[in-house]
Amino acid sequence: MLLLPRTLRTVTTKTCSKCGVEKDISEFGKRSGAYDGLKGACRPCENSRNKQYRTPDKSRVWSLKWRLANRYGIKQEDFTGMMEAQGYKCAICSDELDFDSGKFAVDHNHTTGDVRGILCPSCNHGIGKLKDNPSVLRSAAQYLETRGYYG
Protein backbone atom coordinates (compact mmCIF):
# COMPACT_ATOMS: atom_id res chain seq x y z
CA MET A 1 0.00 0.00 0.00
CA LEU A 2 1.06 3.54 -0.69
CA LEU A 3 0.30 6.47 1.58
CA LEU A 4 -0.29 9.62 -0.43
CA PRO A 5 1.04 12.74 1.31
CA ARG A 6 -1.65 15.08 -0.07
CA THR A 7 -4.75 13.07 0.58
CA LEU A 8 -3.53 10.83 3.40
CA ARG A 9 -5.38 7.84 2.00
CA THR A 10 -3.92 4.52 0.98
CA VAL A 11 -3.79 3.58 -2.71
CA THR A 12 -3.20 0.13 -4.17
CA THR A 13 -3.82 0.85 -7.87
CA LYS A 14 -2.75 3.45 -10.41
CA THR A 15 -3.65 4.16 -14.05
CA CYS A 16 -0.76 3.96 -16.54
CA SER A 17 -0.24 7.19 -18.47
CA LYS A 18 0.70 5.25 -21.65
CA CYS A 19 -1.72 2.33 -21.95
CA GLY A 20 -4.51 3.77 -19.77
CA VAL A 21 -4.99 0.52 -17.85
CA GLU A 22 -5.48 0.60 -14.09
CA LYS A 23 -2.86 -1.64 -12.50
CA ASP A 24 -1.51 -2.55 -9.09
CA ILE A 25 1.12 -0.12 -7.83
CA SER A 26 3.71 -2.93 -7.88
CA GLU A 27 3.62 -2.60 -11.71
CA PHE A 28 5.17 0.89 -11.53
CA GLY A 29 8.78 1.85 -10.95
CA LYS A 30 9.84 4.29 -8.25
CA ARG A 31 10.43 7.94 -9.07
CA SER A 32 11.59 10.41 -6.47
CA GLY A 33 9.92 13.79 -6.79
CA ALA A 34 6.64 12.39 -8.13
CA TYR A 35 3.64 13.19 -5.94
CA ASP A 36 3.02 9.51 -5.29
CA GLY A 37 6.65 8.35 -5.57
CA LEU A 38 5.95 6.28 -8.70
CA LYS A 39 6.59 6.67 -12.43
CA GLY A 40 3.62 7.60 -14.59
CA ALA A 41 3.92 4.65 -16.98
CA CYS A 42 3.86 0.99 -15.96
CA ARG A 43 6.98 -1.17 -16.33
CA PRO A 44 5.86 -2.97 -19.54
CA CYS A 45 5.13 0.37 -21.24
CA GLU A 46 8.45 1.82 -20.05
CA ASN A 47 10.31 -1.26 -21.33
CA SER A 48 8.69 -1.15 -24.76
CA ARG A 49 9.47 2.57 -25.07
CA ASN A 50 13.10 2.01 -24.07
CA LYS A 51 13.51 -0.80 -26.64
CA GLN A 52 12.70 1.64 -29.45
CA TYR A 53 15.61 3.89 -28.51
CA ARG A 54 18.17 1.30 -27.42
CA THR A 55 18.52 -1.02 -30.38
CA PRO A 56 22.17 -2.10 -30.68
CA ASP A 57 22.61 -0.89 -34.26
CA LYS A 58 21.17 2.57 -33.57
CA SER A 59 23.12 3.17 -30.38
CA ARG A 60 26.40 1.85 -31.83
CA VAL A 61 26.20 4.09 -34.91
CA TRP A 62 25.19 7.13 -32.88
CA SER A 63 27.88 6.41 -30.31
CA LEU A 64 30.57 6.04 -32.98
CA LYS A 65 29.54 9.28 -34.71
CA TRP A 66 29.46 11.08 -31.35
CA ARG A 67 32.87 9.70 -30.28
CA LEU A 68 34.53 10.54 -33.59
CA ALA A 69 33.19 14.10 -33.62
CA ASN A 70 33.41 15.03 -29.95
CA ARG A 71 36.43 13.12 -28.71
CA TYR A 72 38.63 13.09 -31.79
CA GLY A 73 37.33 15.94 -33.97
CA ILE A 74 36.94 13.84 -37.12
CA LYS A 75 33.96 12.95 -39.30
CA GLN A 76 32.79 9.44 -40.07
CA GLU A 77 34.02 9.89 -43.67
CA ASP A 78 37.56 10.59 -42.34
CA PHE A 79 37.35 7.47 -40.17
CA THR A 80 36.20 5.35 -43.12
CA GLY A 81 39.07 6.73 -45.23
CA MET A 82 41.59 5.80 -42.52
CA MET A 83 40.16 2.30 -42.32
CA GLU A 84 40.37 1.83 -46.09
CA ALA A 85 43.97 3.09 -46.09
CA GLN A 86 44.83 0.57 -43.35
CA GLY A 87 43.06 -2.26 -45.18
CA TYR A 88 40.60 -2.62 -42.27
CA LYS A 89 43.45 -3.94 -40.12
CA CYS A 90 45.26 -2.75 -37.00
CA ALA A 91 47.94 -0.18 -37.89
CA ILE A 92 50.49 -1.98 -35.66
CA CYS A 93 49.92 -5.75 -35.72
CA SER A 94 47.81 -5.99 -38.93
CA ASP A 95 45.13 -8.14 -37.28
CA GLU A 96 41.63 -7.81 -38.74
CA LEU A 97 39.53 -5.30 -36.77
CA ASP A 98 36.05 -6.36 -35.61
CA PHE A 99 33.82 -3.39 -36.36
CA ASP A 100 30.54 -5.21 -35.76
CA SER A 101 31.32 -5.69 -32.08
CA GLY A 102 33.05 -2.31 -31.74
CA LYS A 103 36.40 -3.85 -30.80
CA PHE A 104 38.77 -1.22 -32.13
CA ALA A 105 40.42 1.92 -30.79
CA VAL A 106 40.97 5.34 -32.31
CA ASP A 107 44.60 6.02 -31.42
CA HIS A 108 45.41 9.67 -30.82
CA ASN A 109 48.07 11.95 -29.39
CA HIS A 110 46.91 12.92 -25.90
CA THR A 111 48.76 16.24 -26.03
CA THR A 112 47.68 17.53 -29.45
CA GLY A 113 44.54 15.43 -29.96
CA ASP A 114 45.65 14.40 -33.46
CA VAL A 115 44.38 10.99 -34.58
CA ARG A 116 47.25 8.64 -35.49
CA GLY A 117 45.37 5.55 -36.63
CA ILE A 118 42.95 2.77 -35.79
CA LEU A 119 44.27 -0.04 -33.56
CA CYS A 120 43.10 -3.28 -32.04
CA PRO A 121 42.46 -3.06 -28.28
CA SER A 122 45.62 -5.04 -27.43
CA CYS A 123 47.97 -2.75 -29.36
CA ASN A 124 46.19 0.35 -28.05
CA HIS A 125 46.55 -0.84 -24.44
CA GLY A 126 50.16 -1.88 -25.06
CA ILE A 127 51.36 1.51 -26.27
CA GLY A 128 49.30 3.19 -23.59
CA LYS A 129 50.89 1.10 -20.83
CA LEU A 130 54.29 2.00 -22.28
CA LYS A 131 53.34 5.69 -21.96
CA ASP A 132 53.08 6.35 -25.74
CA ASN A 133 56.84 6.86 -25.56
CA PRO A 134 58.87 5.62 -28.58
CA SER A 135 62.07 5.22 -26.55
CA VAL A 136 60.25 3.00 -24.02
CA LEU A 137 58.74 1.00 -26.89
CA ARG A 138 62.21 0.57 -28.49
CA SER A 139 63.59 -0.48 -25.11
CA ALA A 140 60.80 -3.05 -24.75
CA ALA A 141 61.52 -4.41 -28.25
CA GLN A 142 65.24 -4.65 -27.47
CA TYR A 143 64.44 -6.43 -24.20
CA LEU A 144 62.34 -9.03 -26.03
CA GLU A 145 64.97 -9.48 -28.76
CA THR A 146 67.82 -10.07 -26.27
CA ARG A 147 65.88 -12.13 -23.72
CA GLY A 148 63.87 -14.16 -26.20
CA TYR A 149 60.27 -13.94 -27.27
CA TYR A 150 57.62 -16.45 -28.21
CA GLY A 151 56.46 -14.89 -31.51
pLDDT per residue as tens, the chain (151 positions): 555 555 555 779 999 999 999 999 999 999 988 888 999 999 999 998 887 766 555 555 557 788 888 888 999 899 999 999 999 999 999 999 887 777 889 999 888 889 999 999 999 999 999 999 999 999 999 998 899 877 6
Q: Are residues 81 and 141 in the same domain?
A: yes
13 sits in which H/E element: strand 13-15
pLDDT digits (tens, 9 = 90+) for 72-81: 899 989 999 9
Per the DSSP assignment, residues forming a β-bridge with 89 are: 96
| Whole-model pTM over 0.85 | no
Show the domain range for 92: 74-147
30 sits in which H/E element: strand 28-30
Q: Does residue 86 lie in a domain region?
A: yes
Render the burial of 51-60: b for 16+ CB within 10 Å, e for the rest.
eeeeeeeeee
**Residue 24, amino acid:** D
Distance between alpha carbon 118 and the CA centroid of its chain, in Å?
17
Q: Are residues 45 and 98 in the same domain?
A: no
Please report, for the domain that includes residue 37, its CATH number: 3.30.60.130
